[in-house]
Amino acid sequence: MNKKLVSSIAIAAAAALSFGVVTTSADAAGTKSVSLVFQAPLTGSDALTGSDQLNGALTAVEMYNETNPTVKVNIIKADDQGDPAVAGPVSQGIATNKNVVGIVGPAYSGASIASFPAYKAAHIPMVSMSATRVTLTDPKARDNGFPFFHRIVPPDSLQGTSLVKWATEGVTSPKVYVLDDLQSYSTGLVQYLAPQLKVQNITPVAYSHQPKGTTDYTSEVSKIKASGANVVIYAGYYPEAAALAKALKLSGYTGVIASGDGTLNTGFITGAGAAAAEGVRLTAPDLPFSLVSNAAQKAAYTKATGEAAAKADSHVYVVSTYDATNVFLTCIKGGATTRAAIQNCINNQSFSTLAGVNVKFGRYGDVVGGAPIGGFVVKGGVISYVGAK
């Protein structure tokens, strides 16, 4: 799509958001309400990620509003397509809506960086459910979101270690081929694979790059096979990971394919095909909804989304999005209904996650002590959780 057209669409969407396009509304006239923005890709090649995550936000708000609070919460859906070029204009429009008191998101690291100028200028607190690039909370980095950006998930410095361990587990004499898509998230993840590879005395046979949007991996697969690699680690998102896995399968490659949370999506299986996706190992700082939710939360999920709670596990980042949304809801329930009050609440209170763990944010926005990284594997056309890695 023409970039000028994308920007025009984004600006129009941002203007609409400024006039209060919401998914829920206050039950009665006179009831005070505030708005939270849910920002993620809802259209485009990565739309499944955002639609999956939205289920977690809607569930948390459903449970909160059912308690008949004095302050109702609305959700405004902001589609940034996971694209920095779209996120920038969208965030500018959102920042002008005075009823917006917080951002659940942004979901992607690149979109977060593009949104920071508008949100920081407007003093809008953010809690991301999946933006894992280390620099987002690094006080020395030029693209950090301090002091308004927070994330409920651990950074790639932790995921990189787990991904290497899981990718090479049970592999005799691993020969690792590392491939990324040159995006902010992906290059950050690759950077933190290196220390663990060194710990395991593994020298990668190659570090390679194919830009996001690549659909033909024929030449890359030829290089992988020529290198003798028996482990391929892909840092990127599920549409490209699917094309890569399919090409590797067609070439007769029989080694391990592993990737991070950008690939943890049912769209990966759909794109690659069940046969090519079978056995692929994935990591993510998230847990299955069914593993940590109680009966009331399952019922709220069904009411909010219109689907059975059992389906929640086929979606990614439902739990972390629920937790990110609940940070705001906890503050609002405690009486914080302005951007400044919520920012102060996030910085000073602790919050309970869906898994029942109390967490607190450090000065620069990360959860103190980090969080576990889950290991997953594709089995029989389903992404299955295998435990912390």
Task: Give the Cα separation of 252 and 142 in Å (integer).
Answer: 44
pLDDT at 131 over 90: yes
Kindly report which listed range (21-35, 216-230, 290-304) carries the lowest average pLDDT score: 21-35
Pairing of strands 374-379, 382-388: antiparallel
Find out whether 324 and 354 touch, Cβ atoms under 8 Å. Answer: no
pLDDT in tens, 284-342: 988 899 989 999 999 999 999 999 999 999 898 999 999 999 999 999 999 999 999 99
Q: Which residue type sits at 300? A: A
Average pLDDT value for the chain: 91
For the residues 140-159, what does the mean pLDDT come to? 95
Structure tokens at 106: 């942004």
0.75 exceeded by pTM:
yes
Helices (H), the chain: 3-18, 47-65, 84-95, 109-121, 156-168, 184-191, 194-199, 218-227, 238-251, 266-272, 274-277, 289-292, 295-305, 318-333, 339-348
* Of the listed ranges 21-35, 62-76, 110-124, the one predicted with least confidence: 21-35
In 122-180, where does DSSP find H-type helix? 156-168
pLDDT tier at 372 (50, 70, 90 boundaries)? Answer: confident
DSSP string, 30-83: T-EEEEEEEEE--SSTTHHHHHHHHHHHHHHHHHHHTT--SEEEEEEEEE-TT-
Whether the bond between 372 and the residue before it is cis, its omega within 30 degrees of 0, is no
Res 30: pLDDT: 54
Tens of pLDDT, residue by residue over 228-280, are 999 999 999 999 999 999 999 999 999 999 999 999 999 999 999 999 999 99
Determine the Cα–Cα distance for residues 45 and 52; give it in Å rounded to an integer: 14
pLDDT mean over 119-131: 98
Instruction: Report whether pLDDT(200) > 70.
Output: yes
Going 141 to 144 to 146 to 150, the CA torsion angle's sign is: negative
pLDDT value of residue 388 = 85
pLDDT at 141 over 60: yes
Which domains are assigned to the chain?
3-154+290-356 (3.40.50.2300), 157-284+373-388 (3.40.50.2300)
pLDDT score, position 62: 96
Beta-carbon contacts of residue 337 (< 8 Å; ≥ 6 apart):
32, 34, 71, 101
CA distance linking residue 302 with residue 312, whole number of Å: 9
330 vs 25 pLDDT, higher one? 330
**pLDDT above 90: residue 21:** no
pLDDT at 383 over 90: yes
Is the pLDDT at 69 greater than 80? The verdict is yes
Asked if the model's pLDDT at residue 25 lies above 60, the reply is: no
Neighbours of 55 (CB within 10 A): 23
Question: Does 125 score more than 90 pLDDT?
Answer: yes
User: What confidence score (pLDDT) does residue 136 get?
Assistant: 97
pLDDT value of position 289: 93
> Does residue 61 carry a pLDDT above 50?
yes
What is the predicted pLDDT for the residue at 369?
86
Which of the four pLDDT bands, split at 50, 70 and 90, describes residue 377?
A: very high
Alpha-carbon gap, residue 206 to 231, rounded angstroms? 11
